[in-house]
Amino acid sequence: EKYYDAPLLNVMRDQIIKSLLKEVHRQGIEVKYNKKLISITQQPHSVQVLFEDETVITGDIVIGADGTFSKTREAIAFNAKLDYSGFWGLQGVSFVKDFVLDEATSYFYNDGNFQFIFGKAHPTNKMNILWQAFSQCPEKLPTKHFEKANQETIRQLLYKQMEHWNIPKHLSDIIDHTNMFFPRSIYEIKDFPVWSKGRVVLVGDAVHTANPFVGQGASYSLEDAMLIAKMLRDHDYRDAFYYYEKDRRKRTEELNALFQHMSIQNDIDKKMNEYTIEWDEETYV
């Protein structure tokens, strides 16, 4: 509020998804679930998508919004390589008794190598604390000891990261009251040559990943979606993909570079908040 005349709000991802789905249904857009992409075949005037259940869908374009481990990416650059970023991340939802959280505040604990962030993310739900933890780790943790580890193993990993801290009770309560942990080794895509090929284009983590300390992964994706929608409204798909990549590649690479070189926070804040997308008579930031 001090800098931008607006509060910082923590929002759980399921709330964002519910809001998006509500609008999708309002517009009468069909959503099909339980589909696993197998392959994409491009024709001169269309593109065909084959799914694991042997159904085939034909359309004008394909937009791959399928995350870091994108299958759609193979249709653009089959040999594109994911690199381990040197970070792992953990997320969870929890609650704390007798600890009053300000709805517009995030609480940070950071020792330079390990960072724990939490904040209130729901006004009434008991499980209303959304937390995230990140750590630098030169070698990727084995999947069996991390992504597939049991809850107690993950708790002990967190406590080991904080073994030299004077841990406040509310912080240990958050860890102890978390029933589901979401661990992930964090990967990045480096030097991806093109964001589209023919009638196929990528958005979000499928094409550009964000350092977890940037905290812009979801924002990047929402910005991508709005800009490519605008470009497709105003141009044919070839120009739409071209203008989309030209704008968004510059945006994501500049911001990521600021964090990579540990620029001062004011520079990062300015770059994050100066970006706008004009849409009809309204401006969305």
Q: Looking at residue 119, what is its pLDDT? A: 86
| pLDDT tens figures, 62-120 | 999 999 999 999 999 888 888 998 999 999 999 988 777 766 667 778 887 898 988 88
Output the pLDDT for position 127. Answer: 87
Cα dist from 194 to 9, 37, 190, 224, 232, whole Å? 35, 21, 11, 15, 18
What is the amino acid identity at position 26?
R
pLDDT at residue 3, as a whole number: 60
pLDDT attached to residue 10: 72
Q: Which domains does the chain have, with CATH numbers?
A: 32-81+191-284 (3.50.50.60), 83-187 (3.30.9.30)
Q: What is the CA radius of gyration of the chain?
A: 21
Tell me, what's the pLDDT at 103? Answer: 65
Calpha distance 281→101 (Å, rounded): 38
Distance from C-alpha of 41 to C-alpha of 88, rounded to nearest angstrom: 35
Q: What distance in Å separates the CA atoms of residue 133 and residue 108, rounded to the nearest whole number?
A: 10
In this prediction, residue 281 carries a pLDDT of 59
Q: Is residue 193 within 8 Å of 202, Cβ to Cβ?
A: no
Q: What is the pLDDT along the chain (285 residues), one digit of tens a residue?
A: 666 566 666 778 888 899 999 999 999 999 999 999 999 999 999 999 999 999 999 999 999 999 999 999 999 988 888 899 899 999 999 998 877 776 666 777 888 789 898 888 877 788 889 999 999 899 999 999 999 999 999 999 999 999 888 888 889 999 999 999 999 999 988 878 999 999 999 999 999 987 766 678 888 999 999 999 999 999 999 999 999 999 999 998 888 777 766 555 666 677 777 788 888 755 554
Task: Please tell me whether the overall predicted TM-score, pTM, comes out greater than 0.75 for this model.
Answer: yes
